Amino acid sequence: MCGIVGYVGPREAAGILVEGLRRLEYRGYDSAGIAVVNGNGLEIRKAAGKLSSLEQQLANAMPHGTIGIGHTRWATHGAPTTPNAHPHTDQNERIAVIHNGIIENAGSIRKMLEQRGHSFHSDTDTEVLVHLVGEFYQGSLEEAVATALREVDGAYGLAFISEDEPDVIVAARKGSPLLVGVGEGEYFIASDASPLLEHTRSVVYLDDGEMAILTRDGYRIRNLETDRIEKPVNQIEWDLAAVERGGYAHFMLKEIFEQPESLWNTLRGHLLEDEGTSRVTGLNLSDEQIKQLDRIVITACGTSWHSALIGEYMLEELARIPVEVEYASEFRYRNPVVDERTLVIGISQSGETADTLAAIREAKLRGARTIGLVNVVGSTIAREVDGGIYLHAGPEVGVASTKAFTSQVAALALVALRFARLRNLSILQGRDLIKHLQELPAHIQTILDKAPEIEALAERFVRAPNALFLGRGVNFPAALEGALKLKEISYIHAEGYPAAEMKHGPIALIDEMMPVVFLAPNDAVYQKVLSNMEEVRARGGKVIAIVNECDAEVERLANACMAIPVTHELLSPILTVIPLQLFAYYVAVRRGCNVDQPRNLAKSVTVE
């Protein structure tokens, strides 16, 4: 959830660090800081607030030195203040560290160090850790870090430098992503690839329990016990343009408009039209293993949990397999019933979500087979599951997920189609679903072409204090997602409900100030949803209808109507969610909110 970048090489480090932090700010934006070894010691600059605050501080006095570390913070321990900003230093101010994660036993370590005469200047667990490293330091930063990490509990991605060893960065990872960038005569450490792309596409992914030691002459990987580890160098497939805004006002808007392409990239190469099925060999499940499954558990958080709910409808309807959707944060704490005939699917855009990773590990311990649906190649979940599907949606920088959601639903459709064709779905039904999947990118573009209409609609509801999103069947999860998008980025309180449940509580909230968004494609419950619209209209609520056709009856009931193309009923959430994403975006912009970096949120949640 925090951004980490480090550099050692022949060039001035500070500019590289600041530019890297700019590309990492989506991972944390409460405060930022850098530390550079300048020949006379450590030079540290940090500031609370956005990265721009640090840049202003550096404008007239950039630190000099060719080795350094930088950090953008998303607060866990301690408020977002300058004293709590990273980097932090040890008692003698000779060692600096940046940290993503939580040291769970920091309290007891702090007490021990205070008894030994240490004094602390922040509320963070990170400062406790670097003091512990300083306590163990006897001339080797590498060994001091390894010794200290054997004493701590928790999750971390870390990078250390020391003025006593001005050519060394020591990095370590446990439960928080970290990778080494391999350039020509220079080396990098980062929490993801985005700050490295203008310098190198060659990276080495660290696994839990591993350390990287970077010098001007090269790098090596080891564990905490000193064993050297040989790891492959991977090539990043996407380029720098993919993490630039490309003329759009915000990353979120860019990523919404990328969905025709990102969705097709998810489907590309997986559809076998003649056979009416999908090719998903990455699942590493044989036909016989699929047939023997008794049930499926899908585990995820946030937006990914909403896509999982849609996957439940798909898998049960098409493949007739019982499916349960679990919040990943609850899964491992409730003694879940899974065994070798259970398939556990973990969904995470980043592939690093701490709760989802923990749920997958728990499922594997209980004998279940696991697959992952992730967007980031080389991520921890991708490496630890038995098989899976990469979304290939491209990097998603906006904190509020958009294109990853539609790609997740498409990937779940591929899984459902494969399983269903092996169990009970006819070839004609399979071909029909494939036809509708192939049409989706063009249908999304049709909706995006109507963005000015949705922008005008948002202008009418920008001052609403609350909003209700209602859908039935497979569009109930889409209603949840629409509500989440609005509250994430506009700070308007919004809730999603099954439309028929409105009368069991939420109807008490409806008045002339309450917009109610209905997702009502022309499916089996269409007429039922129209009756729910009548109930809202009778109480003065403002109805916004997302339908396949703005007919006379809908226009009579709705204050605003948005028509979307017709598709297969199970695929309709991929289309109904697009106007909801745009609506949330335009409302947030009109309210002056920071769309790409909404308050209190971060892109990749790597702590519980």
List, by residue number, the catalytic residues. Answer: 2, 603
Helix H or strand E segment including 252: helix 251-257
Closest CA to 380 of 227, 559, 189, 178: 178
DSSP state of 376: S
Closest CA to 354 of 566, 154, 143: 154
Q: Rounded to an integer, what distance in angstroms lies between the CA atom of residue 11 and that of residue 4?
A: 19
Tokens of 534: 């009548």
Dihedral of alpha carbons 72, 76, 80, 81, sign: negative
User: Could you give the 3-state DSSP secondary structure of residue 460?
Assistant: helix
The strand pairing partners of 219, in sequence order, are 214
Spatial neighbors of 435 by CB under 8 A, at least 6 apart, are 273
Please write down the HEC assignment for all residues of 24-91: HHHHCCCEEEEEEECCCCEEEEEEECCHHHHHHHHCCCCCCCCEEEEEEECCCCCCCCCCCCCCEECC
DSSP state of 146: H
Note whether 34 and 17 are within 8 A (CB).
yes
* DSSP helix, strand, coil percent of the chain (3-state; round to 5): 40, 25, 35
Q: In what order do the strands lie in the sheet with 560-563?
A: 493-498, 466-471, 515-520, 542-547, 560-563
∠ CA 132-149-346, rounded to 5°:
135
Spatial neighbors of 254 by CB under 8 A, at least 6 apart, are 245, 246, 248, 398
The strand pairing partners of 542, in sequence order, are 515
Tokens of 218: 């090269």
Could you count the other beta carbons within 10 Å of the beta carbon of residue 233? 12
Spatial neighbors of 121 by CB under 8 A, at least 6 apart, are 83, 127
Establish how many alpha carbons lie within 13 A of residue 201's alpha carbon, considering only the half-sphere containing its beta carbon.
Answer: 7
Over the Cα atoms of the chain, what is R_g? 25
